[in-house]
C-alpha cells in the first residue's frame, strides 16, 4: 500500500507539471507546433538534421517547422505520456493489492485514455475550441481525482495504524472531530463547486477562442461594450472550419466571451468566498481548519492573477499561473466537498 501511496503522490506532482506545460504550450501558440500526432512531422522527436527538416517540411508544406513551438509541444507530450503510464501503473497496482476493480483507479485510467484522445483531436481537428476546452478540463479533473484518491489512501492507512503508532495530537483531533456535518452545508458546497466548474469551463472557452485580450480595459471592457454583445455567436461551436488557430469568431463575439468570464469571476469570488467563510465559521463543527484558509487564499490569488492578466496585457508567466491556480482551486474545493459528504449524517 505504501508503494501505491507514493505512486499516487508522484502522479499528483506530475499532473501539476503537465498542466503547467499544457498552459505554456497553449499560451505560446504551440498547440500545432507539431501538426501530427503522436510524433512530430513524422519523427519521434523534433527533427534537427537538415535532411530531416527538409523531409518534415515536404510532409507538411502548409506548416513550416518552428523549432521552439515544436519542442514546446513535444515536451508536453513526453510528460503527458509519462503521466499516462503512471496512472496505468496505479490501476494495475491497485488491482493487485485489492484483488478487485475499484472506482477511482478505474475512473483515472479511463480518463487518462480519453485525455490522450483529446490531445490527439486537438491536433487533428486543428485546435477545435470545444476539444481544447475539454482537454483543459480533463487535465484539471485528473489532478482532482488523483488528490481525492491520495486522501482516501491516507485515510485507509490511518485506520490500519496500531493505537500506539498514533500521536497524541492525532488522537486529540480525532476525539474532537464530529460524526457529521450539516447536510445544508454539504449541499451548498456542491452548488459552489458547480459555479466554479462553469467558470473554469468559461475560462477554457475564452482561451480556446483567443478572447483573453478581447477587452483590454478595467473593470469591464471598452466603451460601448454593452451594445456589442453577441451571445449567439460567442457560444456557437462554429463547425466546419478547416483550422481554428488564432480563432474564427468576430471581435464582438470574443468580447462577449471575455465579458461573460469577467462577470463569472465576480460571481465565483462571491460564492466561493462565502463558502470559505462558512467553513471557517464552522471549523469546530466540520473539523476543517487549514482547508478553508487554503481555499480562500487560492481564490484571492486567482482573482488577482485574472486582474493582472488585463492590467499587464497577458504576460506569459502570469497567464500560466492563472491556469495553474485554477486547477488547484478546483482540487481544493472538490476535496472539501468530498470530506463534507463523507461526514453527512
The answer to whether 143 and 136 are in contact (CB under 8 A) is: no
For residue 340, which of 296, 269, 265, 276 has the smallest C-alpha distance? 276
Rounded CA-CA distance 251/181 in Å is 48
Cell reading at 274: 462565502
Look at the block and give the residue holding cell 499544457. 22
73 as an active site residue: the answer is: yes
Where helices occur in the chain by DSSP H, the ranges are: 2-27, 50-59, 67-98, 103-124, 129-160, 168-176, 183-208, 231-234, 251-281, 283-286, 290-311, 316-342
Is the CB of residue 317 less than 8 Å from the CB of residue 325? no
C-alpha cell at 128: 477545435
Catalytic residue among 57, 66, 73, 164: 73
| Grid cell digits, residue 180 | 457529521
First and final CA of the chain: distance in angstroms?
Answer: 30
Active-site residue numbers? 73
Amino acid at each position: 500500500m505504501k508503494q501505491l501511496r507514493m505512486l499516487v503522490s508522484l502522479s499528483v506532482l506530475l499532473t501539476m507539471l503537465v498542466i503547467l506545460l499544457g498552459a505554456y504550450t497553449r499560451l505560446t501558440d504551440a498547440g500545432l507546433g507539431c501538426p501530427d500526432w503522436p510524433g512530430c512531422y513524422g519523427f519521434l522527436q523534433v527533427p534537427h538534421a537538415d535532411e530531416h527538416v527538409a523531409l518534415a517540411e515536404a510532409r507538411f508544406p502548409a506548416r513550416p517547422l518552428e523549432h521552439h513551438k515544436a519542442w514546446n509541444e513535444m515536451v508536453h507530450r513526453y510528460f503527458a505520456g509519462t503521466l499516462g503510464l503512471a496512472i496505468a501503473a496505479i490501476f494495475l497496482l491497485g488491482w493487485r493489492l485489492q484483488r478487485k476493480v475499484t472506482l477511482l483507479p478505474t475512473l483515472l485510467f479511463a480518463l487518462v485514455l480519453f485525455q490522450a484522445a483529446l490531445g490527439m483531436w486537438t491536433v487533428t481537428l486543428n485546435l477545435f475550441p470545444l476539444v481544447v476546452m475539454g482537454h483543459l478540463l480533463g487535465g484539471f479533473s485528473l489532478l482532482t481525482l488523483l488528490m481525492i484518491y491520495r486522501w482516501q489512501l491516507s485515510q485507509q492507512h490511518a485506520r490500519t495504524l496500531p493505537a500506539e503508532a498514533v500521536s497524541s495530537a492525532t488522537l486529540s483531533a480525532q476525539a474532537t472531530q464530529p460524526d457529521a456535518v450539516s447536510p445544508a452545508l454539504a449541499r451548498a458546497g456542491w452548488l459552489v463547486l458547480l459555479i466554479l466548474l462553469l467558470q473554469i469551463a468559461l475560462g477554457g472557452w475564452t482561451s480556446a477562442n483567443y478572447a483573453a485580450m478581447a477587452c483590454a480595459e478595467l473593470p469591464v471592457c471598452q466603451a460601448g461594450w454593452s451594445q456589442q454583445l453577441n451571445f449567439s455567436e460567442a457560444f456557437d461551436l462554429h463547425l466546419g472550419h478547416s483550422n481554428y488557430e488564432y480563432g474564427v469568431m468576430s471581435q464582438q463575439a470574443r468580447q462577449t466571451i471575455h465579458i461573460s468570464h469577467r462577470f463569472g469571476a465576480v460571481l465565483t469570488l462571491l460564492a466561493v468566498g462565502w463558502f470559505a467563510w462558512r467553513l471557517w465559521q464552522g471549523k469546530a463543527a466540520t473539523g476543517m481548519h487549514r482547508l478553508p484558509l487554503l481555499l480562500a487564499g487560492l481564490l484571492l490569488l486567482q482573482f488577482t492573477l485574472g486582474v493582472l492578466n488585463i492590467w499587464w496585457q497577458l504576460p506569459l508567466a502570469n497567464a500560466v499561473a492563472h491556469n495553474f491556480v485554477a486547477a488547484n482551486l478546483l482540487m481544493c474545493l472538490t476535496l472539501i466537498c468530498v470530506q463534507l459528504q463523507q461526514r453527512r449524517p
